Amino acid sequence: MELWQRFTPEARRAILAAHEAAVSRQRTAIGSAHIALALLSTCPPAVPPPETVVAVLERQAAEGPAGEGQGSNFSEEAQRALPRALRVCNEGGGGPITVTHVMMGLLREAPSLPRELAASYDLPE
CATH number for position 68:
1.10.1780.10
Q: How many domains does the structure of the chain reveal?
A: 1
pTM equals 0.74
- Taking a C-beta distance cutoff of 8 angstroms, is the pair 117, 36 a contact? no
Q: What is the dihedral of CA 45, 40, 70, 60, to 10 degrees?
A: 130
User: What pLDDT tens digit does each residue of the chain (125 aa) get?
Assistant: 588 899 999 999 999 999 998 898 888 889 888 998 888 887 666 655 667 677 777 877 787 666 555 556 888 888 888 899 999 999 989 899 998 898 888 888 776 666 666 565 554 44
CB within 8 Å of 4: residues ≥ 6 apart: 12
Domain that holds residue 112: 3-120
Q: Does residue 125 lie within any of the structural domains?
A: no
